Amino acid sequence: MGASWSSADPGGNSRPGGAGNAAAIPSIGSSGDSSKRQRRIAGEHQWQLIPGLPDEVAMHALARVPRSWHPAMKLVCSSWRQVMSSSEIFRLRRELGVVEEWLYVLMKDKEEELVWFALDPLTAQWRRLPPMPDVDHHQHHRQQQQERDLAGWSLWELGSSISGMVRSLFGKKDSSERIPFFGCSAAELHGCLFVLGGFSKASATSSVWKYDPRTDSWSKAAAMGTARAYCKTGLVDGNLYAVGGVNRGRNGLTPLQSAEVYDPEADAWSAIPSMPFVGAQVLPTAFVTDILKPIATGMAAFRGKLWVPQSLYSWPFFVDVGGEVFDPVSGRWEEMPRGMGEGWPARQAGMKLSVVVNGSLFSLDPMSTAEGSKIKVYDFEQDCWRVVVRKVPMVLDLSTESESPYLLGCLRSGLHVVTKDAGNNVTILRAEIDGGRGAGDSEAESWTVIASKSFGRVELVACQVLEI
């Protein structure tokens, strides 16, 4: 593996191994020149990343340092700062097999701001990410007068009228008006964190932001073709899909049947066929059709397809109608197996959460406090959901104010549950599941606490796992 200096250091800062007026980022050579070692010469001076070591060896040493030390390493000198922020060092980490997975959790704090935190599972240490950039409100300027007339937060006009009246009595603004990115969705793509849509001053936005952990910074990606809040996301064959969600209309929030796909190479979105919502076509009367609106309540990227459970919804009521499956190869939607759609466990507000671990689809069933919440796995052969862990060893905060009392994630090839209890402790639990079979009836045998910390009065919103 070769290393060469490829860019100058305009600052002329001090660096290990000698003086000089130029520095550069070592670049990883191809297999054809991996045995070659090049060095850039600044005047008559030569310098090295680590004094006394060839640059190739130094790069290997730096690449093996755990990620938790990277911020401190960037403070050593300008050369190390450039190296530890470069794509070359992370490609080398992958070649050496020393990549790490961190858990990123989005929370709404007591100031009603959305904040991302990253957990290093090896050290159980949390880090706060830089704030997400402000959404450009100018694109919605023409809709502001319309937004002022739409006071309440709910999914449909019926709930909007009631909640709007209550909030107007107390002079409290709608969450979609006062919280930037409210209702946004998150996804992982190529080691970066993507945040899609959400509300900007009560209007859904199409903006997409990307967080790169290598540089610890946010940048803007191509906007979606349709403005969406609460859309469902999934990754299939390196492409990111955004399905459904809601948008603001004249009569309140309107569910979306449309869907689109993001090509990271082209940095562009393109539309795919909309969800047919066949289950919504069996409603008995037009009156019921006007009240209950079809909505995607979840999505799992599984076995090369998008599995989307669906419901008919009018706050606070919902009726399961199964779901549909999108095949990116054929470009068609088909009906979801009946047992899968009807048995998919639902959390608050009818939303359905799932995670794929080692080729199996898992979900958490938030049952009553007495029985305890259970982990279920979908059985394709029997078309049913089976219990594999009988009890989550923690009482979930199922209060009406908590939108997401728990989240699910696949971290280091294991199923993890992110929970928040009534005491405001955010705890990461790892479920020990062997091949889709429960690890046993004992709570102590089935669960491991990875980390636990009090963030004050917060609400869980979303989580993603990034591999770097």
Q: Which of 73-77, 81-85, 276-280, 366-370 has the lowest mean pLDDT?
A: 366-370
Confidence at residue 62, expressed as pLDDT on a 0 to 100 scale = 96
| Model confidence band, residue 44 (pLDDT cutoffs 50, 70, 90) | very low
Co-location of 168 and 282 in the same domain: yes
Domain end residue (candidates: 329, 344, 359):
344
Predicted structure pTM score: 0.81
Co-location of 160 and 299 in the same domain: yes
- Structural domain containing residue 29: 3-96
Q: Model confidence over 110-139: pLDDT tens digits?
A: 888 999 999 999 999 999 999 998 754 444
Co-location of 306 and 442 in the same domain: no
Co-location of 114 and 223 in the same domain: no
Burial of residue 150 (number of CB atoms within 10 Å: 0-12, 13-18, 19+): buried
Co-location of 161 and 119 in the same domain: no
Is 314 a residue whose pLDDT tops 80? no
Q: Which two tokens stand for residue 355?
A: 């995670």
Confidence at residue 139, expressed as pLDDT on a 0 to 100 scale = 42
- Residues 189-204: what's their mean pLDDT? 93
CATH number for the domain harbouring residue 227 = 2.120.10.80
Q: Residues 213, 218, 220, 224: is their CA dihedral positive or negative?
A: positive
Confidence at residue 289, expressed as pLDDT on a 0 to 100 scale = 56
Q: CA-based Rg of the chain, rounded to a whole angstrom?
A: 25
- Residues 71-90: what's their mean pLDDT? 92
Confidence at residue 140, expressed as pLDDT on a 0 to 100 scale = 41
Confidence at residue 279, expressed as pLDDT on a 0 to 100 scale = 77
Co-location of 158 and 293 in the same domain: yes
Q: Which residue has the higher pLDDT, 450 or 178?
A: 450
Name the average pLDDT for the chain.
79
Q: Model confidence over 261-288: pLDDT tens digits?
A: 999 999 999 999 999 998 777 655 554 5
Co-location of 123 and 158 in the same domain: no
Co-location of 187 and 272 in the same domain: yes
Co-location of 79 and 109 in the same domain: no
Confidence at residue 19, expressed as pLDDT on a 0 to 100 scale = 38
Of the candidates 387, 377, 366, 389, the residue with the CA atom closest to the CA atom of residue 460: 366
Co-location of 449 and 335 in the same domain: no
Confidence at residue 46, expressed as pLDDT on a 0 to 100 scale = 54
Domain end residue (candidates: 344, 374, 409):
344
| Model confidence band, residue 195 (pLDDT cutoffs 50, 70, 90) | very high
Co-location of 88 and 155 in the same domain: no
Domain count for the chain, please give it: 3
Q: Which residue has the higher pLDDT, 160 or 446?
A: 446
Domain end residue (candidates: 344, 375, 407):
344
| Model confidence band, residue 365 (pLDDT cutoffs 50, 70, 90) | confident
Co-location of 193 and 306 in the same domain: yes
| Model confidence band, residue 36 (pLDDT cutoffs 50, 70, 90) | very low
